[in-house]
Amino acid sequence: MLSPTGNTGDAIFRGLMFLVGLFMVSVVIAMVIALASDSMMSIRQFGFGFLKSLHWNPIKGEFGALPFIYGTIVSSLIALLISVPFSLGIAVFLVEQAPHYVARPIGFLVELLAAIPSVVYGVWGIFVLAPFLRVYIEPPTATLLGWLPLFQGPITGIGLLTGGIILAIMITPIISAVVRDVLAAVPGSQREAALALGATKWEMIRVVLVNGAPGIAGAVILGLGRALGETMAVTMVIGNRPEISLSLFAPSYTIASAIANEFTEATDDLYLSALVELGLILFLVTFVVNGIARVLVWNVTRKTGGVGRAA
């Protein structure tokens, strides 16, 4: 293969880069094949019923994934609902409002949060967050909003809500760091133009946010990806109960936690196969959610033509 410039070095380099790229793709394909082949036994046994069944009972050999899928998606949604407004606020403050001597240290601290290992978040969740929610947050919520099925049932501080909140705390630094970079990349001329037209600061910030929309969406996808796959911190506070309950106070379970929790002591083949199939499902869920998010980003990009690209 000759490069357009006819340079052999270039050709070799391009070939190598092609191989490296191919290697990445083949790892993904190999992973899917391995997951699918190892979960064959469970797929044959349960078929589509695996996705619909509510029962997970290793002793009786009954395996169903629905409670795990529900827990994974709902905990990630709670995380996004809490985290996105916070992250946008942090980024807007750092880029548009804070003086340099404030923005630097705060930006640094936010990035530091992203580097904390998830097990540390988990321990903090058990010893600080869960008791705090149990004593100060959940009882008033139940009193005020107890007529909603979302906030009923016994209050223990451990459950879907706590899992979602800890995820929110974990993904906020990631989203806000990326959004900050996106906003910083919006050309100053946009701001000057808005202000010159008589826009208030708030209106100017809105212009900047709309310009950065695709990049912001990319940041959210990045955060969502982490939330969907997060294992350790969530498993320590979510209650680990494979059950679908409308209440956010009730214990729940995520796919990643289930795999991590049950893999070590799973001895029989069907059980192992069912756990691998959970892994395959997590792979597919992540794939589908990312796909949907990307389509959304693409739509927004087409309309606004702003700066920044989806991650």
**Residues engaged in binding other proteins (CB under 8 A):** 5, 7, 9-10, 12-13, 16, 20, 55-60, 62, 123, 126-127, 130-131, 134, 154, 156-159, 235-236, 239-242, 251, 253, 257, 260-268
Question: From the CB of 145, what's the least distance to other proteins, in Å?
Answer: 21
Q: Which is nearer to other proteins, 241 or 294 (CB)?
A: 241
Q: Which is nearer to other proteins, 55 or 309 (CB)?
A: 55
Q: Which is nearer to other proteins, 190 or 261 (CB)?
A: 261
Q: Which is nearer to other proteins, 25 or 59 (CB)?
A: 59
Question: From the CB of 142, what's the least distance to other proteins, in Å?
Answer: 14
Q: Which two tokens stand for residue 58?
A: 């290793």
Q: Which two tokens stand for residue 55?
A: 């029962």
Residue 306 gets which letter from DSSP? -
Angstrom CA distances, 138 to 31, 104, 157, stand at 41, 35, 7
Question: From the CB of 166, what's the least distance to other proteins, in Å?
Answer: 14
Question: From the CB of 59, what's the least distance to other proteins, in Å?
Answer: 4
Q: Which two tokens stand for residue 192?
A: 């000057």
Question: Other C-beta atoms within 10 Å of 10: how many?
Answer: 13
CA distance 120 to 281: 27
CA distance 73 to 134: 23
Yes or no: say if 142 and 151 are a contact pair by the CB < 8 Å rule: yes
Q: Which is nearer to other proteins, 81 or 128 (CB)?
A: 128
CA distance 182 to 216: 7
CA distance 217 to 49: 34
Q: Which is nearer to other proteins, 19 or 112 (CB)?
A: 19
Q: Which is nearer to other proteins, 67 or 308 (CB)?
A: 67
CA distance 153 to 250: 7
Q: Which is nearer to other proteins, 199 or 266 (CB)?
A: 266
Yes or no: say if 40 and 273 are a contact pair by the CB < 8 Å rule: yes
Place of tokens 């494979």: 242
CA distance 293 to 33: 25
Question: From the CB of 19, what's the least distance to other proteins, in Å?
Answer: 9
Q: Indicate the helix (H) or strand (E) that contains 253.
A: none
Question: Where are the alpha helices (H) located in 186-268, listed in sequence order?
Answer: 188-196, 201-211, 213-229, 232-237, 255-262
Question: From the CB of 225, what's the least distance to other proteins, in Å?
Answer: 23
Question: From the CB of 141, what's the least distance to other proteins, in Å?
Answer: 17
Angstrom CA distances, 163 to 81, 109, 252, 287, stand at 13, 23, 9, 22
Question: From the CB of 156, what's the least distance to other proteins, in Å?
Answer: 5
